[in-house]
Homo-oligomer: A and B are copies of this chain.
Amino acid sequence: MKKNTDTIKKIQKAAFKEFFEKGYMKASLRKICSDAGVTTGALYFFFKDKDELFCSLVRGVVDEIKSVMLEHFALEQNIKEKDFIEALIGEGAGKEDFKALSDITDIMYKNRDLVLLLLTKAQGSSLENVVDVFIDLSTKQYETLSDKMSKAFPNKSISKYFAHWVAHDQVQALVYAITHIENEDEAMIYISNMILYLRGGWCSVWIPEAFKNNIDNFK
């Protein structure tokens, strides 16, 4: 029981290093094996192929992120129609968003190396478009919100790509954090700004009057 666990660990450790340095495509299994002090046969005993080896490294964190996203988005779907504007711009607006985004951020920072591997070195693997999966989850959320707003503001309409963009942008904001900000505490400050930013952007398109009315205050 000890032996095989050790071998897997050794392979994964060497694999992480190699994938991280060269990216999925340019990484060499031969190199991984020799770095791990293991034969290629051993690698193929534990992993079906290169792709599965790569996925084995990041599968856990992918699943974690996914489940936190699903969980939070499920909560959000339940906000009653009459409350959603309050949730958007009322007192305490963004509280829920912050909880969700900071939870996800926290998970990502707890496994920052793996997340960076996944986000920046996966091209060529079956996970190269994993971000799209997160974006899809996020999209569902914004589509629901769009529907609610359409009912509340029947005379407004937005580009059909806009909701998808915002979903996209929310995810990219997280990607930006993990790839550009080393320190988790700084990332959290950034995230709280991001809530304002995303909400402000969203509202500016749906309810542009919100700004214009206030010009005088700043002149």
Contacts and interface: CB of A to CB of B under 8 A. Distances in A.
20 contacts: A23-B123, A26-B124, A86-B219, A89-B212, A159-B186, A159-B190, A162-B197, A165-B176, A166-B197, A168-B176, A169-B169, A197-B201, A198-B201, A199-B204, A200-B204, A200-B210, A203-B211, A209-B217, A210-B210, A213-B213
Contacts of A159: 186, 189-190, 193
Interface centre among A124, A166, A193, A207 (most CB of B within 10 A): A193
A205 B189 CA distance: 12
Contacts of A70: none
A35 to B, nearest CB: 17
Interface residues of A, number: 53
Contact of A89 (B161, B202, B205, B218): B218
Nearest to A161: B190
Interface of A: 23, 25-26, 85-86, 89-91, 123-124, 158-162, 164-166, 168-169, 172-173, 176-177, 180-181, 186, 189-190, 193-194, 196-205, 207-215, 217-219
Closest 7 CB pairs of A and B: A200-B204, A201-B201, A197-B201, A200-B200, A196-B204, A159-B190, A200-B201
A39 B23 CA distance: 29
Interface centre among A189, A197, A207, A209 (most CB of B within 10 A): A197
B210 A214 contact: yes
Given A161-B181, A180-B164, A194-B165, A85 B218 contact: yes
B25 A124 contact: yes
A25 B124 CA distance: 9
Nearest to A194: B165
A205 B161 CA distance: 24
Nearest to A158: B193
